[in-house]
Amino acid sequence: MPTRDDVHAGSVADAGSYTHGPPHAEFARLRREAPVAWLPEPTRRLRSGAGSVEHTGTGFWAVTRYETVLAVSRQPRLFSSAARGAFLSDPKSHADLERARQLLIGMDPPEHAVLRRSMVAAMPSRARLVQSVRDHVATLVSAFEADGGGDAVARLAAELPLLVLADLLGVPRADRGLFYEWSNNLVGFDDPEIGGGDVTTFTRTIGEAFGYARRLANERRRQPREDFVSALVNRDDPLDEATFCHAWLLMVVAGNETTRHLISGGLDLLLEHPRLAAALADGGAVPPAVEEMLRCITPIMQFRRTATADTELAGQPVAEGDKVILYYVSANRDEAVFDRPDVPDLGRDHNPHLSFGAGPHFCLGGHLARLEAVELFTALRPYLARIERTGPPRRLASNFMNGLKELPVGLGR
């Protein structure tokens, strides 16, 4: 039985290890040899206006098998999101921890359920969402086809969820560029081209996003509309300002990042496997294809929990206070659950993937991400048989989000 002294390779925690895709071979090894393995955290160099400092975390238990990830996800009291936040890196101060606890993903019951119900109730009807998505898909695909292709990340994968978000939140579509910048700065914190570990940029981004949210909330209190923000701020029991700002920011970031990387990663998967693109173009069903894209890509690769008592996982003792990382990206390729997990099958019948998590923290916007991806790939079907790369894709350096920064493609003639 592995212990804390049996330290395995730390590549799965190193953002640089993901620049060519997730380290699936290492995850497979961990599933075989040490499905609950104690791993070190790589040293991170954090920059700010005062200079730079090196930060090394405490180490963590990497949970890589499907059954164990699911078990932890369903025990929020024993494996807490609020104790030390939901991200691999530890909060740097008590103030940082308190801010993390105001995010929906950083809450435990019962606070989590209360805020989640409020956000679900504020969402527009499915009919409105479907119409918004279809209208934007038609416009984007038409323009992309007219130009013969382009960067599928900027032109399709990022643009669609940003436009849908603008409609959902009731903000000017011209402001979607701000959402794109803020999301990149926050999610791409470790990527040298985007955040580069710059704490100043991270802090500035939070300030700008919260300032925008406060102004928007004040406007909707004075002049309510039929949008998510109006519904959230004009409740009988309105959220306090800090909780609203964090809920709004989660919508902005998670509402475009997950869908962006699902779409771009799905298209990249089709380019990598032309037989899949041909099958989809020839009438293959799109919804199960999107589910397989979700499984293969796993846009959000992991979240963190903290053990609230001494316990054990898969026979491995885990101490109170230990950091536990749930690797959905590994669970989604567990050989015990998925037949030939490394071979994409767009018609896979049994596909209980964990790309949207499980338990009380199941992704709030999973239905919208599915809708956007299904509508977009349905509209792209006439072009899939001749779509081709016009340059190499560029990946995000992140151990959290499995994303592409650029995907140049042409539609051929």
Helix (H, G, I), strand (E, B) or coil at 267: helix
Asked if the model's pLDDT at residue 413 lies above 80, the reply is no
- Per-residue pLDDT at 48: 59
**Residue 200: what pLDDT?**
83
- pLDDT, averaged across the chain: 91
H helices of 198-240, in order, are 199-222, 228-233
pLDDT of residue 237: 86
Q: What is the pLDDT of residue 69?
A: 98
Q: What share of the chain is helix, strand, coil (3-state, %, to 5)?
A: 50, 15, 35
* Mean of pLDDT values over 63-80: 98
The amino acid that residue 364 corresponds to is: L
**Across 196-221, average pLDDT:** 88
CATH number for the domain that contains residue 345: 1.10.630.10
pLDDT confidence of residue 8: 46
Is the pLDDT assigned to residue 1 strictly greater than 50?
Answer: no
Q: Which domain holds residue 347?
A: 11-410
Nearest to 43, CA basis, from 32, 31, 30, 56 = 56
What residue has token string 């527009």?
124
Q: How far apart are CA 182 and CA 188, in angstroms?
A: 10
What confidence score (pLDDT) does residue 5 get? Answer: 44
Q: Looking at per-residue confidence, does 318 or 242 come out higher?
A: 318
| CA 182 – CA 252 distance, rounded (Å) | 9
Specify the higher pLDDT residue, 10 or 90.
90
pLDDT > 90 fraction of the chain, expressed in percent and rounded? 71
Higher-pLDDT residue of 46, 243: 243
Output the pLDDT for position 136: 97
Mean pLDDT lowest for which of 132-136, 238-242, 317-321?
238-242
Please choose, from the candidates 13, 10, 15, 42, the residue with its C-alpha nearest in 3D space to the C-alpha of residue 398. 15
Q: Is the pLDDT of residue 186 over 90?
A: no
Give the span between the Cα atoms of 362 and 366, in whole angstroms. Answer: 8
- For residue 408, give both structure tokens: 């140049």
| pTM, entire model | 0.93
Q: Strands, E, within 208-336: which ranges?
A: 302-307, 311-313, 316-318, 323-327
Residues whose CB falls within 8 Å of the CB of residue 57, separated by 6 or more in sequence, listed in order: 41, 88, 89, 90, 323
**The two three-digit tokens of residue 275, written as one number:** 């037989």
Q: Give bridge partners of residue 37 from the DSSP assignment.
A: 62
In this structure, is residue 228 part of a structural domain? Answer: yes
The pLDDT value recorded for residue 192 is 75
> Is the model more confident about 304 or about 55?
304
Highest mean pLDDT among 178-182, 198-202, 238-242: 178-182
State how many domains the chain has: 1
Q: Distance between the two ends of the chain, CA-based, in angstroms? A: 58
Is there a domain that residue 339 lies in?
A: yes
Indicate if the pLDDT at residue 363 is higher than 90: yes
User: Which region among 45-59, 233-247, 279-293 has the lowest average model confidence (pLDDT)?
Assistant: 45-59
Q: What distance in Å separates the CA atoms of residue 377 and residue 227, rounded to the nearest whole number?
A: 27
pLDDT class for 10, splitting at 50, 70, 90? low
Has residue 43 got a pLDDT over 90?
no
The CA-CA-CA angle for residues 226, 231, 235, to 5°, reads 145
pLDDT of residue 128 exceeding 50: yes
Alpha-carbon separation of residue 188 from 203, 333, 388 (angstroms): 13, 25, 27
The arithmetic mean of pLDDT across residues 199-207, rounded, is 85
**Cα 51 to Cα 41, 73, 194, 203, 336, distances in angstroms:** 22, 38, 18, 15, 48
In a domain, 6, yes or no: no
Average of pLDDT values for 198-226?
A: 90
Residue 6 has pLDDT above 60, yes or no: no
A 10 A CB-CB count for 155 gives 18
In a domain, 87, yes or no: yes
Give the integer Cα–Cα distance in Å for 234 and 232.
6
Is residue 273 pLDDT above 90, yes or no?
A: yes
Measuring CA to CA, how many Å separate 220 from each of 214, 227, 264, 393? 10, 9, 34, 41
Q: Cα torsion at 373, 377, 380, 381 (round to 10°)?
A: -170
User: Looking at per-residue confidence, does 48 or 285 come out higher?
Assistant: 285
Least confident piece of the model among 171-185, 191-205, 388-402: 191-205
Q: Is 80 exceeded by the pLDDT of residue 223? A: yes
What is the average pLDDT across 45-62? Answer: 68
pLDDT per residue as tens digits for the range 149-175 = 999 999 999 999 999 999 999 899 999
Q: Which whole number is the average pLDDT over 167-189?
A: 88
| pLDDT band (50, 70, 90) for residue 191 | confident
2 assigned to some structural domain:
no
Q: Is residue 3 part of a domain?
A: no
Does residue 302 sit within a domain? Answer: yes
pLDDT at 412 over 90: no
Please give the Cα distance from 247 to 228 (Å, whole number). Answer: 11
